[in-house]
Amino acid sequence: MNFLNGALALGVLTALVPLVIHLFNRSRFKVIKWGATHLLESVLRKNRKQIQLEQWIILIIRCLIPALLALALARLVVMDWNSFLFFLLLPLAALIFLIMVAFARKTRLLWGLLCIACLLGTALGALGLLPQWGKEKKLTAASGDVPASTVILLDDSLSMNAVESFSKAQSFIAGFLGNMHQQSETSIIQLGGTPMPIFEKPTSDSHALGSRTENLDAESDRISLLAGMDQAVSISAEAKNLKREIILLSDFRKQDWQNWDIAATQSLRERLLALPSNPAFTWIDLGKGAKKNLTVESLVLSSHTVGVDHPVGIRVTVRNFSEESFEGNLQVRLFADLNETAIDEAVLSVGPNASAQVGFTHRFKTAGPKVLHAEIQVTDDFPEDNRRSVAINVIEQINVLIVDGDPSQEWLRGETDFIKLALTPFEESEPKNTGTKLVQMKDLIQADIVSIDQIDTKKFLDEYSLVVLANLEKLTTKKAKEIEIFAENGGGVLICSGNRMELNWYNEVWGPKGNSFLPMPISGTKGNPLNELSFSRISSSYFDHPALSMFNDPRNGSLAEAQIKRWILLDESTTRKDPSVTILARLNNSRPILTEKKFGKGVVMLWGTSIDTDWTNLPAKPSYLPFVQQLASYLSEKVLPPRTIDAGRTINHYVTEADQDSTFMLKLPDGTVRKLTPFERKDRYVLEFMDTRLPGVYEMKNEKNIVAKFVVMASLSESDLEKAQEEQIISTAKSLSDQITRIDGTDGEGWKSYLEMDAERKFGRETWQILLLVVIGLIFAEIVLLRKFGRIAR
Amino acid sequence: MAAVTDYLDPKDLSRLANHQVLAKRVVEGFCSGLHRSPHKGFSVEFKQHRPYTQGDEIRRIDWKVFAKSDRFYVREYEEETNLRCHLLLDASGSMAYGEDKETESLSKLEYASRLAACLAYLSLRQTDSVGLTTFDSQIRSQVPPRGGASHTRQIIDLLGSTSTGEETDLGKVFHEIAPRLKKRGLVVIISDCFGDVPQILKGLAHFNHAKHDVVIFQIWDRDELEFPFRSWTRFDCLENLGLKHTVDPAHLRDAYLENLREYREELVKGCHRHRVQLFPMTTDEPYSVGLASFLAARSKAGVPVHL
């Protein structure tokens, strides 16, 4: 016996209520001193036992009604005839015989004996002393005749393409759906990437499920077994049928099973045990151990943003997962934008279970979003991973004007030497590499350094998109005005602090009393650059500003490693409510160090310490170059969210204010098109797309042309087709549930094996209809008996 | 000493005063129809026949003599003493029912005592002699029949000192009392008549045999007739203190009422057989009203009244 709503079974305790009421009434009797005892006594003498019997019957019926109702609501399920007989039929028969005892005076002995026999049968049956002759006679026939609630976990990761595992899975599902009971409900969860059910709720529409499954392709990222299992258990918990099953169709690769979390399994097991009806697990292995597989492991670009006609370095890593060795005969080809003509190719050697690299250089002739693909030309068991792609944004050149407030003739002593070096690394390093010039690399940024006197304001708007004011003492009113106009018209201004700055001038002309050009007024300076022991650091929090977001990835270095010995004090109290002002970074002492302000169409950024090594050692740290490059790109409005992402991550794309009302289309790798509309987040308009479970190229278009291309990468683990260890699967299975059946479906006969296995299983029957009928019968019986029982013998 | 007013309510007395005819009828009733011949006295002893003369009541004609002689003769009775009225008051435990009740109605014994007092009063006013015997399973106390207004005092004193006692055994008590009543008279039994009906009837037969005119006022409480109890109740026996029954009365009501009906039927039939007049009264009705209706019926029919 079992319950589908186990908690409601506690309602059986309501049977105590009539009993308590009865006892309560008995304990509160009246006392009457009675004279006509001789009239009462004869009645009592003749009827005492009868009255007691009748009261017992009524009490039993009253207790049974709520108890059986609770069992009906708890959806009691009996698994075999024995329990049905012992716990329902015999007690009810005993009750009926007891009622007969009350009515049939002459034959009451017979009925009494029958009643006792029934109760004895129940007691002996409960103790297991009676022969289990009903045990083998299940209440239901083969489990195929029982409506079932099934959750199919379908591994649709890329690796399922190897040795036709996925088509085997599809044929299994087709067989399963074709054989589905009319009242069965089935849910199919695609395990790849983020597990997602095909339909939101379990359905009994096998045709709809079938046609959806037929059109599926195994092109998702690595499966999340535990998350999928978790979803399946949740769906199973709310299933309407007693027969519940979770079928896992997968290739059982080592990669999928190695991250099996014991704690999560334990909690999953506890949830399973708490269910009224445990789902049975069936694991069907569809993957044959593939022998030969090679993959493009990585495709790394020297820069993700590249100027037109600038060379971009491409490094391709090829991994060999097989025992076969390639000696100079593995061809690697490079494609651009799905053009079937290779733009470059190379051959390389790679040993068994080893990897090898090859480099390419390419120059794009036109600006715009591009995708590069690298492909190995080899026939293996898993051809889907022989190509890897990467997105690249090709742009025109960025021109930066650096105004040096503290020039020096000595190398790296001037205020702007470090920033120039970081902005144009190739140009600066060229003279020193003249002898060993391997690849001619061109900088994306073109930087010009001028002194304060050389500022030719008329050239600003024409040639530069960013002006860096490095440690300027002050500007003439006219030049200050022109820089404001430059920013207002969409230019970027980066003000870097230093010892020469005349703070009063900055506060008066550009502070709140002037025209508020600075993000925040400067209240002074702090720190001593000569003291080696006293310094602060940039707080290493999560940066949500696009200019610094790359430092959220520790591989790009950390700003917090630099010591900042002196800084200007920025007074954030006055601008706290100004929405145009943003604090990008703070020091450990919570002082703002990098702030920006929207000024007209442009942006003004204030860097609170020196841009050279006077006040900080940041320029000597690896993070300095990406830092200034990012700031420069951002201020020139060239910073873009990453375009090559892992499967499951969100695609982000910034659009201009002018495009905020337009609609964008995103073409997915499987050819479907999704409509996207921009929304405002903070101060910019963003397009967002989260459902990136399919690896491949995503194209974003507006009405006219392609505005961006994104590459979603399948995780590398998909290429490793090594099977999971048998012992690991067995131990995992044991830790999860005791009812796991494993079927080997590698020969394509998975469905047949499943049918054979399923034919052996038996499932119980729900009894709520019967119980409800019994309850109604009892209510009726109580009414009738109450009327009949008044007429007792005199 | 019990106050007369405890037993003879001024209200009832005034009612009796206002119903002089009724009081006379009481006397008539007691005196077996000698109302219109006061000079002949109140007697039940036959004296002689005399020829019918105009003005005589037709019903006093002796039809047996007419049948023999074809002439009208009227029966005349010997003027002897006053009627002897023996009041037998049951003071057994069962008569205590109603004592504990919160309502203002009287217990059965109180009711019976008032009834006895009223009968005594009425009889004594008619210069009859009245005696009172109280009993339960045996005779408890006795006031011999005597006349005179001062006798009321004695009767009422005895009534006042009477409290309920033990079990009843009416048959046995009647057998005890019957030989003590030397002269024929009116025997008024005021009791609930709970007990073994054949035994009771045997006792009544004893009275009948001694040619007493027997009237039974059977005192009921309304509860005993209707059994109106609903919730769980413990019935403590008034006569046998050890006897207690905790029952659901609703369950028993039908059987009880059926039992009651059979018992009453048996008693009524027995009384009829022994020419005993049985008059049931319930304590929730004023006894004067019941008494009045009883007397009216008796004077009209001249036969025992059964309700």
> Chain B: residue nearest A22 by CA?
B232
Q: Where are the domains of chain B?
A: 4-26+81-301, 46-77
Distance CA A428, CA B175 (A): 149
Q: How confident is the model at residue A780 (pLDDT cuts 50, 70, 90)?
A: very high
| Burial of A264 per CB tally in 10 Å (0-12, 13-18, 19+) | middle
Q: Which of B146-155, B211-220, B243-252 has the highest mean pLDDT?
A: B211-220
Pick the residue of B233, B252, B262, B263 with the most A CBs within 10 A to test the interface with A by mutation.
B252
pLDDT given at position A143? 56
3-state secondary structure chain B: CCCHHHHCCHHHHHHHHHCHHHHHHHHHHHCCCCCCCHHHCCCCCEEEEEECCCCCCHHHECHHHHHHHCCCEEEEECCCCCCEEEEEEECCHHHHCCCCCCCCCCCHHHHHHHHHHHHHHHHHHCCCEEEEEEECCCEEEEEEEECCCCHHHHHHHHHHHCCCCCCCCHHHHHHHHHHHCCCCCEEEEEECCCCCHHHHHHHHHHHHHCCCEEEEEEEECHHHHHCCCCCCEEEEECCCCCCEEEECHHHHHHHHHHHHHHHHHHHHHHHHHCCCEEEEEECCCCHHHHHHHHHHHHHHHCCCCCC
Looking at the complex, report in whole angstroms how far the Cα of residue A135 sits from the nearest Cα belonging to chain B: 45
Query: If you search the block for the tokens 């007891």, which residue do you land on?
Result: A98
How do residues A135-192 score in pLDDT, each as one tens digit?
555 555 455 567 788 999 998 888 888 878 888 888 889 988 888 888 889 999 998 8
Q: Strand pairing of A185-190 and A196-197?
A: antiparallel
| Burial of B301 per CB tally in 10 Å (0-12, 13-18, 19+) | exposed
pLDDT given at position B21? 25
Tell me if B97 and A791 make a contact (CB, 8 A cut-off): no
Tokens of B18: 């206002």
Is the per-residue pLDDT at B265 higher than 90? yes
- Residue pair A645/A710 in contact by the 8 Å Cβ criterion: yes
Distance CA A684, CA A678 (A): 10
Is the per-residue pLDDT at A793 higher than 60? no
How do residues B63-73 score in pLDDT, each as one tens digit?
988 999 999 98
- Residue pair B136/B90 in contact by the 8 Å Cβ criterion: yes
Distance CA A75, CA A742 (A): 30
How do residues A130-144 score in pLDDT, each as one tens digit?
776 655 555 554 555
Pick the residue of B102, B230, B245 with the most A CBs within 10 A to test the interface with A by mutation.
B245
Q: How large a percentage of chain A has pLDDT more than 90?
A: 7
Tokens of B17: 């005063």
| Per-residue DSSP letter, A396 | -
Residue A746's contacts (CB-CB under 8 Å, 6 or more residues apart) are A168, A285, A286, A287, A288
Is the per-residue pLDDT at A500 higher than 80? yes
Mean pLDDT of A595-609: 87
Tell me if B94 and A35 make a contact (CB, 8 A cut-off): yes
Buried b (16+ CB within 10 A) or exposed e, B34-64: beebeeebbbbeeeebeebeeeeeeeebbee
Rounded to two decimals, the ipTM of the complex is: 0.73
Q: Looking at beta carbons, which residues of chain A come within 8 Å of B250?
A: 790
In this structure, which CATH number among 3.40.50.410, 3.60.10.10, 3.40.50.2300, 3.40.50.300 belongs to the domain B4-26+81-301? 3.40.50.410
Q: Looking at beta carbons, which residues of chain A come within 8 Å of B194?
A: 35-36, 38-39
Higher pLDDT pick, A302 / B144: B144
Pick the residue of B235, B237, B239, B243 with the most A CBs within 10 A to test the interface with A by mutation.
B235
Looking at the complex, report in whole angstroms how far the Cα of residue A231 sits from the nearest Cα belonging to chain B: 58
- Residue pair A593/A608 in contact by the 8 Å Cβ criterion: yes
Rg over CA atoms, chain B: 21
Q: How confident is the model at residue B78 (pLDDT cuts 50, 70, 90)?
A: low
Is the per-residue pLDDT at A411 higher than 60? yes
Q: How large a percentage of chain B has pLDDT more than 70?
A: 78
Q: Is the Cα torsion angle B14, B20, B23, B25 positive or negative in sign?
A: negative
Largest CA-CA distance found in chain B, in angstroms, rounded: 71
Is the per-residue pLDDT at A29 higher than 50? yes
Q: How confident is the model at residue B268 (pLDDT cuts 50, 70, 90)?
A: very high
Tell me if B234 and A29 make a contact (CB, 8 A cut-off): yes
Looking at the complex, report in whole angstroms how far the Cα of residue A234 sits from the nearest Cα belonging to chain B: 53
pLDDT given at position A188? 92
Looking at the complex, report in whole angstroms how far the Cα of residue A66 sits from the nearest Cα belonging to chain B: 24
How do residues A315-363 score in pLDDT, each as one tens digit?
888 888 888 888 888 888 888 876 677 888 888 888 888 888 888 888 8
Q: Which of A635-644, A675-684, B15-24, B268-277 has the highest mean pLDDT?
A: B268-277
Chain B: residues touching A (Cβ < 8 Å): 93-97, 99-100, 108, 192, 194-195, 221, 224, 229, 231-240, 243, 245-248, 250-256, 258-260, 262-263
Mean pLDDT of B175-186: 83
Looking at the complex, report in whole angstroms how far the Cα of residue B215 sits from the nearest Cα belonging to chain A: 22
Is the per-residue pLDDT at B19 higher than 60? no
Q: How confident is the model at residue B17 (pLDDT cuts 50, 70, 90)?
A: very low
- The DSSP H or E segment spanning A790 is none
Distance CA B194, CA B120 (A): 24
pLDDT given at position A461? 57
Tell me if A43 and B256 make a contact (CB, 8 A cut-off): yes
Tell me if B255 and A54 make a contact (CB, 8 A cut-off): no
A217 three-class SS: coil
Higher pLDDT pick, B77 / A753: A753
Q: How confident is the model at residue A607 (pLDDT cuts 50, 70, 90)?
A: very high
Tell me if A37 and B239 make a contact (CB, 8 A cut-off): yes
Q: How large a percentage of chain A has pLDDT more than 70?
A: 91
pLDDT given at position B34? 37
Mean pLDDT of A27-34: 82
| Per-residue DSSP letter, A642 | -
A387 three-class SS: strand
For chains A and B, count residue pairs whose Cβ atoms are closer than 8 Å. 108
Q: Looking at beta carbons, which residues of chain B come within 8 Å of A30?
A: 229, 231-234
Pick the residue of A21, A38, A50, A788 with the most B CBs within 10 A to test the interface with B by mutation.
A38
A672 three-class SS: coil
Which of these ranges, A447-461, A482-496, A578-592, B285-299, has the smallest mean pLDDT?
A447-461
Tell me if B251 and A30 make a contact (CB, 8 A cut-off): no
> Chain A: residue nearest B246 by CA?
A29
Angle, alpha carbons B106-B155-B43 (nearest 5°): 110
Distance CA A364, CA A395 (A): 9
pLDDT given at position A93? 92
Tell me if B255 and A792 make a contact (CB, 8 A cut-off): yes
Q: How confident is the model at residue A775 (pLDDT cuts 50, 70, 90)?
A: very high
Structural domains for chain A: 2-140+767-788 (no CATH), 143-289+722-763 (3.40.50.410), 294-395 (2.60.40.10), 398-635 (3.40.50.880), 644-713 (2.60.40)
Tell me if A40 and B256 make a contact (CB, 8 A cut-off): yes
Tell me if A789 and B251 make a contact (CB, 8 A cut-off): yes
Angle, alpha carbons A510-A512-A513 (nearest 5°): 85
Hey, which residues does B73 pair with through a beta bridge? B51
Angle, alpha carbons A406-A409-A410 (nearest 5°): 100
Hey, which residues does B146 pair with through a beta bridge? B130
Give chain B's length.
Answer: 307
For residue A666, is it left (φ>0), alpha (ψ between -120 and 50) or beta?
A: beta
Strand order in the sheet with B244-247: A30-34, B233-237, B244-247
Tell me if B232 and A26 make a contact (CB, 8 A cut-off): yes
How do residues A203-253 score in pLDDT, each as one tens digit?
888 888 888 888 888 877 788 888 888 899 888 888 887 778 899 988 888
Distance CA A693, CA A191 (A): 10
Q: Mean pLDDT of all residues in chain B?
A: 77
Q: How confident is the model at residue A777 (pLDDT cuts 50, 70, 90)?
A: very high
In DSSP notation, A135-167 reads TSSBSSSBGGGS-EEEEEEE--BGGGGGGGHHH
Of A28, A34, A54, the CB nearest to B238: A34
Tell me if A34 and B236 make a contact (CB, 8 A cut-off): yes
Distance CA B307, CA B300 (A): 15
pLDDT given at position B24? 29
Looking at the complex, report in whole angstroms how far the Cα of residue A777 sits from the nearest Cα belonging to chain B: 23
Nearest to B101 by CA among B113, B110, B112: B110
Q: How confident is the model at residue A606 (pLDDT cuts 50, 70, 90)?
A: very high
pLDDT given at position B42? 39
Is the per-residue pLDDT at A726 higher than 50? yes
Looking at the complex, report in whole angstroms how far the Cα of residue B255 sits from the nearest Cα belonging to chain A: 5
- Residue pair A192/A693 in contact by the 8 Å Cβ criterion: yes
pLDDT given at position B303? 42
Is the per-residue pLDDT at B300 higher than 70? no
pLDDT given at position A113? 93
Of B239, B255, B263, the CB nearest to A47: B255
Q: How confident is the model at residue A495 (pLDDT cuts 50, 70, 90)?
A: very high
Which of these ranges, A152-166, A356-370, A591-605, A712-726, has the smallest mean pLDDT?
A712-726
Q: Mean pLDDT of all residues in chain A?
A: 82
Buried b (16+ CB within 10 A) or exposed e, B194-205: bbebeebbbbbb
- Residue pair B112/B89 in contact by the 8 Å Cβ criterion: yes
Q: How confident is the model at residue A594 (pLDDT cuts 50, 70, 90)?
A: very high
